């Protein structure tokens, strides 16, 4: 079933305008990936906690209208909150949902008709798994913390500003920064202002939002609290594609100017490089003061599809099978993928030298890995040095061990969860 939907997605993509294909693929991939994990592994359901205990209701932001904190369509932003208990009752874990970006009026107008642009289309209940799970066997270090899943509905990694809204009847609200500020105020009023330990995390575009707001999150917490950040599958590379074009750079340039994100980005980066490049983590990560952990696959399928080999740079579909299943890549393509991995490692070379930084860079063909039990912590999760992502993050957060883990090149790691989009 999941694969039939994926095939429909690929056919639909061919009909879209090039200037917003990346945005659509970005957030649609995140939505469909949930289905893939649960459809493909139903025969291994024992690795998932599907009890009602981890089904959490949607809460709409209470003061959204007063604060002007709206989703793209003008509806109220939302979040899912599960109260902590026992030793975790004073600790907070926030996870920002992923879902790409929109870079044109057309793509944002489409996005506002989905759950990634309007709370009117959001699920009223979601299952907390992986880093959000309350099952200690799946989430030993954070299972009893206060946990919040922040829904993503602005299209600019919670960094848009209303000054950039067009007054021509399009009725698009670029309020990402206001959403962030209003959500933080509401969570502080629910007890986060007394946090003893806190972790801000996010996946994909939500991971980019985590990086953008990491230091602000630290500043909002009590000074004596232990506060750190975790970015999953969000180290988007400033790289040329296979035809030498800078597709992602052009895309981020459009997002930056359309939604006016400059005021949310690091000032030193804005003064040092062309401002829209400051959406790339490698340009601003050195400015982040707060302890930070990076989880990223070296063969991130989203980046391969949209940065390295976007459809427009593969007119003869030579890469089609490779992008669907890394096992279908020919030796020349694998060599190019290894080069992309090398670019990631080079971009992280200074980062890994910083004492309070941690990283888990595996060689899997996957995207987000922290919110699903299979990739976060289960009997068949990806491992480096026999450590799962959950164990590695826990070791880093609680200072049990320094964690600077880099996998060997594909296909060396038999524990990898490699996505296969050709199944059907």
Task: Provide the annotated active-site residues.
Answer: 204, 300, 367
Q: Could you report how far apart the first and last alpha carbons of the chain are, in Å?
A: 7
3-state secondary structure of 91: strand
DSSP state of 77: P
In sequence order, which residues have a C-beta less than 8 Å from that of residue 271 and are 6 or more positions away?
none
DSSP state of 325: B
Question: What is the Rg, in whole angstroms, of the alpha carbon atoms belonging to the chain?
Answer: 20
Query: What tokens were used for 261?
Result: 């994100």
DSSP state of 177: H
Question: The tokens 């200072």 sit on which residue?
Answer: 399
**Contact by Cβ (8 Å): 81, 126:** no
In sequence order, which residues have a C-beta less than 8 Å from that of residue 318 and are 6 or more positions away?
none
Using CA atoms, how far residue 63 sits from 67, 174, 177, 368, in Å, is 6, 17, 15, 31
Angle between helix axes 18-40 and 247-259 (nearest 10 degrees) is 100
In sequence order, which residues have a C-beta less than 8 Å from that of residue 93 and are 6 or more positions away?
131, 132, 142, 145, 146, 147, 148, 198, 199, 201
């Amino acid at each position: 079933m999941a694969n039939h939907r994926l095939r429909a997605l690929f056919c639909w993509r061919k009909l879209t305008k090039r200037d917003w294909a990346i945005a659509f693929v970005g957030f649609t991939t995140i939505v469909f990936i949930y289905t893939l994990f649960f459809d493909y592994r139903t025969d291994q359901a024992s690795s998932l906690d599907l009890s009602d205990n981890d089904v959490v209701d949607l809460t709409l932001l209470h003061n959204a209208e007063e604060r002007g904190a709206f989703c793209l369509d003008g509806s109220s932003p939302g979040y899912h909150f599960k109260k902590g208990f026992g030793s975790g009752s004073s600790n907070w874990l926030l996870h920002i949902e992923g879902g790409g970006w929109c870079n044109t009026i057309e793509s944002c107008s489409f996005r506002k008709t989905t759950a990634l642009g309007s709370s009117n289309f959001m699920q009223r209940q979601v299952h907390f798994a992986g880093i959000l799970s309350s099952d200690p066997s799946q989430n030993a270090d954070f299972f009893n913390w206060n946990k919040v899943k922040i829904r993503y509905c602005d299209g600019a990694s919670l960094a848009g500003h209303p000054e950039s809204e067009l007054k021509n009847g399009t009725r698009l609200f670029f309020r990402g920064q206001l959403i962030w500020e209003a959500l933080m105020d509401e969570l502080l009023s629910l007890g986060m202002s007394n946090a003893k330990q806190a972790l801000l995390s996010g996946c994909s575009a939500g991971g980019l939002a985590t990086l953008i707001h990491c230091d602000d999150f630290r500043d909002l917490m009590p000074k004596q609290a232990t506060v750190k950040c975790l970015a999953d599958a969000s180290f988007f590379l400033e790289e040329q594609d296979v035809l030498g074009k800078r597709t992602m750079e052009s895309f981020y340039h459009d997002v930056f100017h359309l939604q006016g994100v400059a005021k949310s980005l690091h000032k030193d980066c804005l003064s040092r490089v062309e401002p829209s490049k400051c959406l790339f983590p490698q340009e601003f990560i050195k400015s982040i003061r707060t302890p930070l952990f990076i989880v990223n696959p070296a063969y991130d399928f989203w980046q391969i599809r949209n940065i390295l080999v976007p459809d427009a740079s593969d007119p003869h579909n030579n890469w089609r099978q490779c992008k669907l299943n890394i096992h279908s890549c020919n030796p020349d393509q694998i060599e190019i993928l290894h080069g992309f991995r090398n670019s990631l490692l080079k971009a992280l070379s200074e980062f890994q030298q910083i004492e309070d930084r941690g990283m888990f860079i595996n060689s899997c063909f996957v995207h987000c890995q922290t919110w699903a039990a299979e990739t976060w912590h289960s009997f068949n999760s990806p491992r480096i040095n026999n450590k799962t992502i959950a164990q590695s993050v826990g070791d880093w957060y609680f200072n049990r061990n320094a964690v600077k883990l880099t996998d060997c090149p594909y296909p060396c790691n038999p524990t990898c969860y490699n996505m296969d989009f050709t199944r059907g």
